[in-house]
Structure 1
Amino acid sequence: MKKIGIIGGMTPESTSYYYRKYIEISRERFEPYVFPELILYSINFRDFWAGGWEGRKKILINATKALERAGAELIAMSANTPHKVFPDVQKAVSVPMISIVDAVAEEIGRRGVGRVLLLGTKTTMSSDFYVSALRDNGIDVIVPGEDEQEKLNEIIFSELAFDNLSSRSWIVRLIEKYAEKGAEGVILGCTELPLAVKQGDVGIEVFDTAEIHMRKLIQLAAE
C-alpha cells in the first residue's frame, strides 16, 4: 500500500483523533494487524498560529516537503482551516495531496444531502475556499451568523483544543437551530468538533470531516 503522510499538530487533540480513526478504519477494512504505513509530522501550533497566512503557508510547505523526503506517497493536512492555502502547498511538492474539502463534498453527494450547515473556525466559516467548493458541487451551504461564528471560534480554540467539552450543549443547540431552518446535514468543518458532536446527537446528518478524510486516505492508499 502507499505510504500516508499527515501534517498534524493543528491541534494535537484533532491529530490524535485522526490517528484513532486511522486505527479503527484500518481494522474495519483489512485483516488483523494490517495498517497502511503512516508518517506524521506534528508542527508547533504556537508558531503556526502566531503569524499570518504567508508564514503559515511556509510552515505547511516545509512540513509537506519533509513528508515527501520521508517517502510519503499521499499527503494530507489534518485540519480544515489550513486548506485556505491548500493549492499553494500542493504546488510545492510532486506527491499528491488529498483535500479534506473534496473528500467531504464527495461524501455529501454520496449521502444525497443537498443543504448543509458549515461549522468550523471563523476563517473556515467566513472565507470562500470551503463554501465555493461545496457550491461548485451543487451543495447549498448555510453558515452561522457573525456572533455565532465568534463564539464557536472561541470554543474551538479555548476549549475543544484542550479536550474541554463544556460548551457541547451550545454547539448541539446551534445545529438544531439551523436544522429547523432547513439544514439537512452539518459539516463538522473543524477537526476538533467531532470530539463534541457525533451522529445521533442531532436530528440531521453529521459529516465528521476527520473521519471522512482518513477514510479517503486509506481507500487511496489501498488502491
Structure 2
Amino acid sequence: MPHKVIGLLGGMSWESSAEYYRIINIHVRERLGGLHSARCLMWSFDFAEIEALQHAGDWTAATARMIEAAQRLERGGADLVAICTNTMHRMADEVQAAIDIPLLHIADPTAERLKAAGHRRVGLLGTAFTMEQDFYKGRLQQRHGLEVLVPEEGERHAIHRIIYDELVQGRIEPASREVFRTIMQALAARGAEAIILGCTEIMLLVTREDSPVPLFDTTTLHAEAIADMAMA
C-alpha cells in the first residue's frame, strides 16, 4: 500500500521548509530504498505577511491563515499535516481542531528523543515567542516532564534578531555563530544537559561542535518523525 500523503505548512521561512523537504525525502529513501520518495503537498506562505502578523501580535489573524492553509491541504488529499516552524505551533491546537487529519506537533518527537537519551533539564533556543510564551515550554514541561531553561533577556533579544534579520533571509554570519556559542555555554553552565534548537533555521547556523552539550535539532527530528508517520 502506498505511504500516506504528507501535508506541509511551510514558507516560514522557505529556507527551513527546503530542509524539511530534503530530510523527509532522504528518510523515506533510507527506509524504503530504491527510487522511493515522499508523497507531499506543501502550502508555502509568503513569510512577509506572517512575520508582520507575528510582530503586530495579531495571533487571531495568523491562526485564521494557518487554519485555512491546513484545510486546503486536507482538501488536496493530505493524510497528515505538519507545521514546518516552531513559532507557529502557538496555534497548533486550533489548527488540529479545524481538520480531520492528524497534526504532528514539533515538540513531541523532540521531547521523546531527549527522554530516550536520559536528558531531563534542557535549554531552549528559538524566537522570542517560542522562548518566552508558554505554548512550547508548557508542552515540554506538562506533557513530557522536562525542565526547560531559556537564555537571559538580552540573550533572547540577540537570538530573535539573528533569526529574523539574518537566518530567515539566508544570511549565515560567523559573528552570530559566536553569539550562539556563548549563549549555549551559559545554558550548560546553568545545568542544561542538552539544548533544543527550537527554531527551524538555527540548524543552518550551528552544529554539534558549537555546543558543550548535545544539540537536538527540531527540524531534523520533526521531519524524520513526519516521514515515519507517513510510512507507518
User: TM-score interval w.r.t. the shorter chain?
Assistant: over 0.9
Per-residue deviation at 1:201?
Answer: 2.7
Say if 2:184 and 2:212, in contact at 8 Å, map to a contact too.
Answer: no
Counting only pairs closer than 5 Å after superposition, residues 43-192 of structure 1 correspond to structure 2 as 43-51=45-53, 52-136=58-142, 137-166=144-173, 167-192=176-201
Match for residue 221 of structure 2? Answer: 212
Aligned counterparts of 1:148 and 1:84: Cα–Cα separation in 2:
22
TM-score by length of 1: 0.97
TM-score by length of 2: 0.93
Match for residue 30 of structure 2? Answer: 28
Say if 1:187 and 1:207, in contact at 8 Å, map to a contact too.
Answer: yes
Measured on the aligned residues, the alpha-carbon RMSD in Å equals 1.1
Residue correspondences, number: 223
Aligned counterparts of 1:23 and 1:36: Cα–Cα separation in 2:
5
Q: Which amino acid aligns with 2:154?
A: D
1:19 aligns to what SS in structure 2? helix
Match for residue 199 of structure 1? Answer: 208
Aligned counterparts of 2:148 and 2:75: Cα–Cα separation in 1:
38
1:32 aligns to what SS in structure 2? coil
Say if 1:49 and 1:56, in contact at 8 Å, map to a contact too.
Answer: no
Identity of counterpart residues, as a percentage?
A: 36
Unpaired runs of at least 5, structure 2: none
Per-residue deviation at 1:131?
Answer: 1.2
Q: Note the alpha carbon deviations across 1:77-116, whole angstroms, 9 max, x for none.
A: 0000011111011111101111001221111112111111
Q: Which amino acid aligns with 2:10?
A: G
Per-residue deviation at 1:2?
Answer: 0.7
Moved over 3 A (4+): none
Say if 2:27 and 2:224, in contact at 8 Å, map to a contact too.
Answer: yes
Q: Which amino acid aligns with 2:181?
A: V
Unpaired runs of at least 5, structure 1: none
